[in-house]
């Protein structure tokens, strides 16, 4: 889903590139089976604590907000591409209702090996699946973002690696209580600039860090 992005002459806008699952919204647990998945229907959307206040904080500090998300479900035959688009659109609307404007959502629908019943056109290598920087590059280019003042906010090492590859800063939401899906159990193997358990506390730290950098 794409929104109008004001064009300026040079890349001079600070941006926040947001991972979706585990960063903005919670994973979904099936009551019966206990199986965990990512949200693929609007009614499964649950914003994580501190997300709205943190996003408002970023917007007030002048950052352009975008989402960059790997969604290999359609390639793996788990749900449709339309389900991904509908869910993302609902998330953007949900945030808009809270006064938070998301400029654009860039999605990688690919998966290297796919799965049973998956959309074959989405299976194979690509340049956009994080930890590759393709999604981030698209947002940076279209939004005319300045890399030195842009942050990737995620919850996984792939977010940090993608940020590094795109030449932007990385910060991770890392709730110590989380375990089931946690790729960072025992600490992140690739260190982001900032880590916090809580999205809003992390946002405050990012804004503080950037303000200090601008003042130098
Ligand atoms: Mg994530
Ligand atoms: Zn891709």
Per domain, the residue ranges of the chain are 15-215
Catalytic residues: 19, 21
pLDDT (tens place) for every residue of the chain, 216 residues total: 445 555 555 789 999 999 999 999 999 988 888 888 999 999 999 999 999 999 999 999 999 999 999 999 999 999 999 999 999 999 999 999 999 999 999 999 999 999 999 999 999 999 999 999 999 999 999 999 999 999 999 999 999 999 999 999 999 998 665 555 555 555 556 778 898 999 999 999 999 998 766 655
With beta carbons less than 8 A apart as the criterion, state whether 53 and 4 touch. Answer: no
Distance 129 CA to ligand 2 centre (A): 4
Q: 60: Cβ–Cβ under 8 A, 6 or more apart, which residues?
A: none
CATH homologous superfamily of 15-215 equals HAD superfamily/HAD-like (3.40.50.1000)
Q: Relative to the alpha carbon of 125, which ligand is closest?
A: 2
Cβ atoms of 2 and 104 closer than 8 Å:
yes
How many whole angstroms separate alpha carbon 191 and alpha carbon 202?
Answer: 15
Rg (CA), the chain: 17
Ligand minimally distant from the alpha carbon of residue 160:
1
Whole-number pLDDT of residue 215: 54
pTM for the full model? 0.89
Structure tokens belonging to residue 177: 């209580």
Q: What is the pLDDT of residue 2?
A: 47
Ligand 1 centre to CA of 22 (Å) is 4
- pLDDT at residue 31, as a whole number: 81
Q: What is the DSSP string of 61-84?
A: TTPEEEEEEE--TTTTTSS-HHHH
């Amino acid at each position: 889903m794409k929104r109008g992005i004001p064009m300026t002459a040079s890349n001079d806008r600070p941006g926040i590139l947001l991972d979706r699952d585990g960063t903005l919204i919670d994973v979904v647990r099936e009551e019966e089976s206990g199986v965990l998945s990512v949200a693929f229907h609007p009614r499964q959307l649950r914003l994580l604590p501190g997300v709205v206040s943190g996003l408002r904080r970023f917007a007030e500090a002048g950052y352009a907000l975008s989402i960059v998300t790997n969604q290999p479900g359609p390639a793996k035959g788990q749900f449709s591409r339309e389900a991904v688009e509908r869910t993302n659109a609902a998330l953007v609307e949900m945030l808009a209702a809270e006064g938070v404007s998301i400029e654009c959502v860039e999605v990688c629908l690919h998966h290297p090996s796919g799965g049973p019943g998956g959309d074959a056109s989405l299976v194979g290598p690509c340049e956009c699946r994080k930890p590759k920087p393709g999604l981030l590059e698209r947002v940076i280019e279209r939004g005319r973002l300045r890399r030195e003042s842009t942050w990737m906010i995620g919850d996984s090492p792939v977010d940090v690696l993608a940020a590094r590859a795109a030449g932007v800063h990385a910060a991770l939401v890392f709730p110590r209580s989380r375990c089931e899906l946690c790729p960072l159990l025992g600490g992140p193997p690739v260190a982001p600039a900032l880590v916090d358990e809580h999205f809003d506390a992390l946002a405050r730290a990012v804004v503080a860090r950037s303000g200090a950098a601008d003042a130098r």
